[in-house]
Amino acid sequence: MSEIKKNSRNTENAPKSPFSTQTVAFSHYNNFSAQLPIDPKTGEIVSGAIKEQAKQCLTNIQAIVESIGHVMDDAVKLTVFLKDISDIEAVDEVYKTFFKNELPTRTTVQVAALPLEGALIQIDALISNGEGTTPQKALDLVKVTRNTENAPKSIHAQSVAFSHYNNLSAQLPIDPQSGEIVAGGVKEQAEQCLKNIKAILESIDHVMNDVVKTTIFLKDIADADAVSEVLAKFYPSYVPARTIVSASALPLYALVQIDVAVSHGDGTPPQLPEDARYLVIEANSAANAPKTAYSHTVAYSHYNHIAGQLPLVAETNQIVNGDVKEQAVQCLNNIKAIVESIDHNMDDIVKINIQLKNVADITAVNEIYTSFFSGDLPARTVVGVSAIPLNALVQIDAVVSNSEGTPA
C-alpha cells in the first residue's frame, strides 16, 4: 500500500477556525472548509448585502487557492448555501467574475441557518490537485468540462472530470426540452432529477452504477421514503452511499434536488492509458454501525465516501438518549466504526459535513468534536437545517482518504 500523505494547510489571508483546516489535500483533490463572508483582518462579517457577502466568501476561497499555488479555474465543484434562494441571481453576478474559463459544477441550496449570525451565504469548494500528495509525482492533469443537450443547461458546467472522479452539478427536476419543472409530486420530480443525471452520465460513457455518493436535498424531509422508492429503480442492485439533507428552499422552488459524485476510471490526461481499465468500486457496510438500505461507505480510487450518519445505536437502530452532544458523539462513533471496518482511522478523514437542527448547537458539538482526532483536523462544512431524518438533532457525513486505492 502506498502511503499517500494528507496535506493540511491554512493561510493568514482567509479566516481560521480551531475546529477545521482550511484545505486538506489528498491524492488529486483539495477539500476546502466552507467559507463564510468573514473579513480575515477583522474576523467580522463584511458590511453590505448578499453581493458583498458572496464576494467575500469567494475572496476567502481565492486566498486559500492561491496560498497553495492554484488558481480559481482549478475549482471543479462549489456548493453554495443561501439564507434566501432568491439571492442566487445576485450571487451569479459576482460568481462569474472569479473565473476566467468555464465555470465549475455547482450545487445551490437554501438552508435554515448558517453558522454565524448575519451571514447570508456560505460556500465550500473542491479544487483539483494535479501535483498530488506525497509520494505521488506531480502531473499537470487536465480538467475536462462537458455538457449534453439531453440534460438542463445553466451558467455552470454539468460535469467536470478530473483525475478519477466526475463532479456533477446538482440536478433539478427540469425537463431539458421545455426547461420547466416537470408536472407531478416529489416522485415525478425525483425521477426527472435522476433521468437528468443518467443523461449526463451516458453522454460521457458512464452508467448509474458508476455513482459512488448521492446527496438528496428535500424541501420536505417526510418525502425521503417516496424518493427512496424512485432511487431503487435506478439502482436495482448496487446502492451508493447516501445523505439526505433538508432544504428550506431549492432553486426554482423544486421539491427535490440530487447531487452525485461519480467514478471516472478512464481518468483525465495525461494519465496513462491503462487507467481506462476502470478501477473497482468497493461498497461496504459495517456490522457495528446502524443498518441502512444503502452502503455505509463506497471506496473508489483514493477516496472513501461515508453515508450520512444519524445518532442511531447500532444494536437497537434507535436514536441514542440525550441531547445534541450525545447525539453528535453517536454520529461520530458510527463514522469511526465504519472507518475502522475498512482498516482506516479518523485521522484519515479529509472532509466532514455537519447538519444541525439548531445551528447554535455547534458550540456543544465542538466540545466533543476534536476528541475524535489526534492529528490535523479535516476540512469542515456546517449548516443549520429545518429537519433531519428520524427527528434527529444532528447528522454527519465524511470523505476519507484511501491510500491503498481500489484495484483495477
CATH of the domain at 314: 3.30.1330.40
Same domain membership, residue 127 and residue 6 = yes
Structural domain total, the chain: 3
The answer on 108 and 5 residing in a single domain is yes
The pLDDT assigned to 274 comes to: 45
Query: What was the pLDDT predicted at 279?
Result: 76
CB 353 within 8 A of CB 378: no
- Domain stop point among 138, 163, 198: 138
Question: Are 6 and 132 contained in the same domain?
Answer: yes
Q: Are residues 175 and 123 both part of a single domain?
A: no
Q: What is the pLDDT of residues 261-276, one digit of tens each?
A: 999 888 888 876 545 4
Same domain as 127, residue 182:
no
Residues 255 and 284 in one domain: no
Examine the domain organization and report whether 318 and 364 are in the same domain: yes
- At 276 the pLDDT is 43
Question: pLDDT value at position 2?
Answer: 62
pLDDT at 138: 85
Question: Which of 138, 154, 177 represents a domain boundary (last residue)?
Answer: 138
Q: Does one domain contain both 158 and 257? A: yes
- What does the buried/exposed string (b/e) look like for 371-380 if buried means 16 or more CB atoms within 10 Å of the residue's CB? ebeeeebbbb
For residue 140, the model assigns a pLDDT of 87
Is the same domain home to 258 and 295? Answer: no
Please answer whether residues 359 and 384 qualify as being in contact, where contact means their C-beta atoms are separated by less than 8 angstroms.
yes
Q: For the segment 60-86, what is each residue's pLDDT rounded down to a tens digit?
A: 999 999 999 999 999 999 999 999 999
7 and 108 together in one domain: yes
Residues 209, 125 share a domain = no
Buried b (16+ CB within 10 A) or exposed e, 230-240: bbeebbeeebb
* Domain-ending residue, one of 103, 138, 173: 138
Q: What's the DSSP call for residue 134?
A: T
Nearest residue to 165 via CA among 295, 3, 299: 299
pTM summary value: 0.96
Positions in the chain short of pLDDT 50? 1, 274, 276-277
One domain, residues 230 and 273: yes
Distance between CA 97 and CA 362 in Å, rounded? 33
- pLDDT recorded at residue 1: 46
Query: What are 356's strand-pairing partners?
Result: 384, 394
Show the domain range for 337.
279-408
CA dist 190 and 202 (Å) reads: 18
